Amino acid sequence: MFVDQLGRSVRIDQKPVRIVSLVPSQTELLHALGLEDEVVGITKFCIYPQQWFQNKERIGGTKNLNIELIRSLNPDLIIGNKEENTFDDISILEKEFPVWMSDVNSLEDADDMILKLGEIVGKLELAQELKKNIHTAFQQLDNSVSPKKVLYYIWSEPDFVVGGNTFIDAIIKRIGWENVVKETRYPECHPRYIEEADCLLLSSEPFPFKEKHKEEFEKLYPNKEIILVNGEYFSWYGSRLLDAPIYFSTLIG
């Protein structure tokens, strides 16, 4: 019996050999743990590694799963996430299969997720090594610069931004910046957020902000610094964390 990050007891009697992953960042983690043969199903957003995206069965999107296709794969473990997947889908699946759920809102939560999944899939030693290497990488991150006050955009029209009690907020703080949004989760943007911010961060996901959007923001807010950022490094809480500090160094350098 294993306990997931929602505090649910999940019965997994033996090492899983047919795994379905419902979360892109956790799919990438499973690859890092060497589960080439065990992973049989991924979502259409699980684009890394590319070989898996091309060859593994795709079972829909994170929020519109193909339940019948998942059933046909007969998984002995499904790995989901509280924020990424819907309550209705998980409620259906957990009645038929072992479903282990993550809930990651901090780097500590990410550590916990990596180690717990490593134990479940029989790769605990690799998971421990990965956690150690991630910590080493973040220790080399120089965040001694003056903290920027930032506003992180995740959606456009309507404009939604990142608040507290989120993994992205934890990453912003670890970089050494200050998130001007004190409300929790993902509130709609308020003019006061923009007034307080030195820098507006436009994420590549889930809304794909691009150069044209940056130009629009620069015209609207000529006194603000506008930066397009790679959302994967801010929001993917698996093995992607290993390379994230190198990317963050380019932003704070």
**CB within 8 Å of 82: residues ≥ 6 apart:** 5, 6, 101, 102, 103
Identical fold between 2-137 and 149-252:
yes
Q: Where along the chain do its domains lie? A: 2-137, 149-252
Give the CATH H-level superfamily of domain 2-137: Nitrogenase molybdenum iron protein domain (3.40.50.1980)
Bigger pLDDT: 147 vs 46: 46
Q: Which helix (H) or strand (E) holds 133?
A: helix 124-139
Whole-number pLDDT of residue 144: 59
Residue with tokens 């019996």: 1
Give residue-wise pLDDT tens across range 71-100: 999 999 999 999 999 999 999 999 999 999
The pTM for the full model equals: 0.92
The CATH class, in words, for 149-252 is alpha beta
pLDDT over 70 (residue 253): no
Whole-number pLDDT of residue 145: 66
pLDDT over 90 (residue 20): yes
Give residue-wise pLDDT tens across range 138-194: 998 876 567 899 999 999 999 999 999 999 999 999 999 999 999 999 999 999 999
